[in-house]
Structures are given as C-alpha cells and as structure tokens.
Amino acid sequence: MNVGILGYGYYLPELVVTNQEIAHRFNKDGSWIEERTGIQERRRAGKDISTSDLAAKAAFAALNNANLTPADIDLIIVSTTTPDMLLPSTACLVQNAIGAHKAAAFDIAAACSGFIYGLDIAATYLLAGRYNKILLIGADTYSKITNDEDLHTSILFGDGAGAIVLGEVPKEYGILNSTLGADGTGWELLQVPAGGSRLPLTPNLLDAHSNTIMMSGRAVYQFAVKIFEETVRELLDKSSINLDRISLIIPHQANKRILQSVSQRLEIAPEKIYCNIEKYGNMSSASIPVALAEAYENQKIRSGDYLILIGFGAGLTWGATLIRSNL
C-alpha cells in the first residue's frame, strides 16, 4: 500500500501588512526588511479571528480539492503553536467547525517543523491500516504572539493555514521516505517563555512581553542553514536517490537568505527551492502546506515529480519527507 496526498488547500487572512507599515515604527525604510529577510508583506488575522478559523477554511479547501466531504475523514491532525486555547485542542474545534463528526482529532506542537512531523504521523497511521483518510492542517497566527516593539521578530511573521488530505495512492507514488530530528539543547534559542506551567502569566511578565516570541536570530539562522543541507542529504542517502532527480524542494519559509545559502551549498538552481516568503512572511506550521498548494496551483509540480518537503524550527526540531507526486 502507498499513501500520499489526495487534495490540498489553504487560506490566508485578507489583511495585508507591508514592510513600510512595520518599518516606520523603527525609523527604517521598508527595503531594510526585504534586504534582510526577502519579505515584502505578510497577512494578519483580525482580533476576532483565531487559528481554528483559518484552519477550518483551509480544511474545506483541501476537501473540495480532493472531492471529499468531512464525513470521509477518520482523523484530523492540526500542527500549531498558536492554539485557540490550552484546551481543548484546536483540532477538536476544527472537527466541530467542518462537521467531521466521526473523526478523531489532536494537535501537535513542533513549531515550524510541525507539518513535517504531522505528515510522518499521518503516513504511519495510514500504512498501519488504522485510518483511511486523514486531514492534516498546519495553521498559525503568530501575530497574536509577536511583540510589535521587537525589531527582530515583528518583521518576520505572518498568519495563515494550509491543509492536505492523505489516503491511499497508486503504487510507486506518494510518501516514499522521511526523517525527523530534534536537539533539545537548543530550546532557548527560539521560545515564548511565559504562559505555560513553567512560568504562568503575571502582570509583570505581560508588561515585559514574556508571552511573545523571543529569538536568538544569528544562532537560529546558522542552525537552519546547516540542518537544511544536512537533512536533504540524509534523506536522499536513505532513499537511494540522487539530488538531480528532485524536481522541487518545498521548505519552511523562514528567511530568503537561508534558501539562497542552501541552494549554493547543494549546488542547485535557486528555482528548485520553492519560495513565496516575499508575499506571506514566516507562517510557521502553515508555511509548507501553503507553499505546496500554491506550487500545485501554479503548475510547478506534475504527476510523477519527486519532491522534498523540509521544515526546521523551535525545539530545536527538523524533518523532511520525500514524495512522488500522484496529482
């Protein structure tokens, strides 16, 4: 049995926030942000819009693309680090919102690697025969946990959601291999310190913005470039396939300079690494499924193409999946 993608979809909030709107707060020009990140604009959810709202819209889009209904789904997995609330899970809220009442549902929290972790979990369940069709969603609203007064993080993040439906596909197609990794010694490099059991929120912590993203930018950048290259090479070696057979690499969209650096290290053309960060910024768990859906829509992927999806982020975590497209 082979398992793979049956349908894809995504949803982005309507509000567009340009570089200039952010840069003026720091007495800088919008080009300053683009030169350092590749980002020109990003989407932002309204105050009354939650992660589950975006996720449900992406789910409907993926189901429609797969020509399926919510009743066909056995399991919903939502990758997010900006859940609507601590409990219940965002996946349960999505289940209710789309009417997938026979589906089990749970969240995973592996930050920008979360969609890849979810893909590996979903494939394992399907291959074991536990479920027939799984809805996997990557959704985040990082605007809700970003400090607008922090120059180094407020320029990076956008909101969005992407989804895929997974199930059985023809032989020799679908998910062929994957690899996951983590290094907990780097947990302090990218974190939201307060709001959990280690550091419950207090008025003083709120005043200090300790409930927002804090990042050691240079160290995270160095980690991302190194682990991106190493993980691609590891996956290719495990799969006994050469890099020149890969039609497209779809990575987490963290920083355009990361993608450019890795293309040089791998000695591949820049266009073989899909990039849409200029339009959306870093959407954490949503970045890979949105880029995947967009690549299909833009006819960058054909049936039979070999793809690598790769994520890396807080934890530190990383992972990659090799897919032969059946769509």
**Helix extents (H) in 99-216:** 114-127, 151-154, 203-207
pLDDT single digits (tens) 163-196: 999 999 999 999 999 999 999 999 999 999 999 9
How far apart CA 7 and CA 68 sit, in angstroms, is 9
Check if 2-171 and 175-324 are the same fold. yes
- 34-38 CB contacts, 8 Å cutoff, 24+ apart: 34/278, 36/155, 36/255, 36/257, 37/155, 37/156, 37/255, 37/256, 37/257, 37/277, 37/281, 38/255, 38/256, 38/257, 38/259, 38/275, 38/277, 38/278
How far apart CA 300 and CA 47 sit, in angstroms, is 35
Q: Which fold has domain 2-171?
A: Peroxisomal Thiolase; Chain A, domain 1 (3.40.47)
Q: What is the 3-state secondary structure (H, E, C) of 227-242?
A: HHHHHHHHHHHHHCCC
Ordered per-residue pLDDT tens for the chain, 327 residues: 999 999 999 999 999 999 999 999 999 998 999 999 999 999 999 999 999 999 999 999 999 999 999 999 999 999 999 999 999 999 999 999 999 999 999 999 999 999 999 999 999 999 999 999 999 999 999 999 999 999 999 999 999 999 999 999 999 999 999 999 999 999 999 999 999 999 999 999 999 999 999 999 999 999 999 999 999 999 999 999 999 999 999 999 999 999 999 999 999 999 999 999 999 999 999 999 999 999 999 999 999 999 999 999 999 999 999 999 999
CA distances from 26 to 20, 66, 188, 269 (A): 10, 45, 26, 35
Q: Catalytic positions, please?
A: 112, 252, 282
pLDDT at res. 254: 97
Please enumerate in sequence order all residues whose Cβ is within 8 A of that of 157, keeping only pairs 6 or more positions apart, or say none. Answer: 42, 142, 143, 146, 213, 281, 282, 283, 284
- Dig out the tokens for 327 from the structure: 């769509």
Task: Kindly state which CATH superfamily the domain 175-324 is placed in.
Answer: Thiolase/Chalcone synthase (3.40.47.10)
How far apart CA 212 and CA 8 sit, in angstroms, is 31
| Boundaries of every domain in the chain | 2-171, 175-324
pLDDT single digits (tens) 49-73: 999 999 999 999 999 999 999 999 9
How far apart CA 108 and CA 24 sit, in angstroms, is 36
| C-beta atoms surrounding 65 within 10 Å | 20
